[in-house]
Amino acid sequence: MESFLIKGGVPLHGEVTISGSKNAALPILAATLLTDEPCVIRRVPDLSDTRFMVKILESLGATARFADGTVKVHARKIKGYADYELVRKMRGSICIAGPLLGRLHKARVSLPGGCIIGARPINLHLKGFASLGATIKIEGGYVDAAAKKLVGNSVFLGGRAGPTVLGTANVMMAATLADGVTVIESAACEPEVVDLAVFLNAMGAQITGAGSPTITVTGVAKLHGAEHEVIPDRVEAATFLIAAGATDGEVTLKGARADHLRAVIDKLNEAGVAVERAGAHLVARRRTRLKPVDVTTLPYAGFPTDVQAQMMSLLALAPGISIITERIFESRFMHVSELARLGADIEIEGPSAIVKGGRALSGAPVMASDLRASAALVIAGMAAKGSTQVNRIYHLDRGYERMDLKLQKLGARIGRIEEK
């Protein structure tokens, strides 16, 4: 297993190009199953998750080739039954269910099960499929959805923590080939949902309202092949903006979308990290001494839960009390105890973490527990004095395209080593 070895204390300087979005690419790759014609998806980040999705498409019978950031898929003939082990291993693969149900009127996929950040049920996905007329059976770890035909309907997809991103994506995809009109209420408004709707419309779907809480899908008889370029990864962009502030450096982001990052930029400005436009690019640097701020994670356009851990690393450096409240996932504070190993002073109180910031961090061996927690540990390790070893970075490779190489280009002293 690989680790990162980081020698801290170096301010990051230079330019970094933001990759395509993992969370947009996964449902878009799944959507290629909706047509028997070829599709070309560009700016797909080279990650273990996207490579996994390509494997799943192939296991369903599609031909798929991933090279130089482009995936060519041809799902000429497919089956409605996905390999248990493959789907079970990556939660995001649940978004093949909607396309299979839409095109074949049947889908058999393994239940994704919980993960370290929360229980993550799929009841809302299934509620959406049932509203289109599908019967749902859960047996032997599988969910079976089947329908003689799908009929458009209205469905409210709000849950315990508000809308569901992949639930909205799944129901939207299934509804593209249903008879009649589907109205999704309390839909997720994330840019990744909008990017998926853009691709589906390029395939001949009729979707309006994506990006708002009400999405309308008018079913069509058939979808055709299409080409699409995935949006930039706003979570990767946020991670580099925060790394610039935490190391007291100056970093220029190329290819990031500022309009997808408003809540993050707003909080960073409040914390003393200026994020400014420079032509088409974004530049981040500290404007003043870091200041404590309160952050609450919310559905888009609120502050993203996928940036909560990284923001905690920054606020551990800001003198004073910051309160971070996680409203989306029940147990997304696994990074707190690892940040404490680096000397951070953080207490968990229910859904909030009380960060007593301003202590100097010092390097130590730490363990990554999930994708975004690992990014937070890399940021804290770069801000800390001495050496930090971040173990189990396979978590990080799931969602960041060669983060070590990008950071080295910015002057970081970071290397990939075999875990001892």
Residues forming contacts to ligand EPZ in the complex (CB under 6 A) are 23, 26, 92, 118-125, 159-161, 164-167, 188, 192, 305-306, 328-329, 371-372, 399
Least distance (Å) from ligand EPZ to the CB of residue 10?
26
Is 95 an active-site residue?
Answer: no
DSSP 3-state of 136: strand
Nearest approach, Cβ of 137 to ligand EPZ (angstroms)?
Answer: 17
Rounded Cα distance between 17 and 285, Å, is 17
Task: Report the length, in residues, of the chain.
Answer: 420
Q: Compute the least distance from the CB of residue 93 to ligand EPZ, in Å.
A: 9
CB of 299 to ligand EPZ, least distance (A): 7
Q: Using the minimum distance from each CB to ligand EPZ, give the nearer residue, 252 or 313.
A: 313
Is the separation of the CB atoms in 127 and 97 below 8 Å? no
Residue 334 Cα distances to 5, 54, 75, 367, 374, angstroms: 20, 30, 39, 10, 10
Which of 314, 317, 313, 318 minimizes the C-alpha distance to 333?
Answer: 313
Catalytic residue among 39, 95, 115, 189: 115
Nearer to ligand EPZ by Cβ, of 7 and 257: the residue is: 257
Residue 124 or 175 with smaller CB distance to ligand EPZ = 124
Residues near 322 by beta carbon (within 8 Å), at least 6 away in sequence: 292, 293, 294, 295, 315, 354, 355, 357
Q: CA-CA distance, 34 to 102, in Å (whole number)?
A: 7
Q: Provide the minimum distance between the beta carbon of 152 and ligand EPZ in the complex, in angstroms, as a whole number.
A: 20
- CA atoms within 13 Å, Cβ hemisphere of 62: 31
- Smallest gap from residue 202 Cβ to ligand EPZ (A): 20
DSSP letter string, 296-314: EB-STTSB-GGGHHHHHHH
All residues at 6 or more sequence positions from 415 whose CB lies less than 8 Å from its CB, including other chains: 4, 5, 404
Contact of 336 with 355, CB cutoff 8 Å: no
Q: Whose Cβ is closer to ligand EPZ: residue 111's or residue 283's?
A: 111
Element (H, E) at 250: strand 250-254
The residue among 119 and 417 lying less far from ligand EPZ, judged by its C-beta, is: 119
Of the two residues 306 and 338, which places its CB atom closer to ligand EPZ in the complex? 306
- Cβ atoms of residues 361 and 343 within 8 Å: yes
Residues carrying an active site annotation: 115
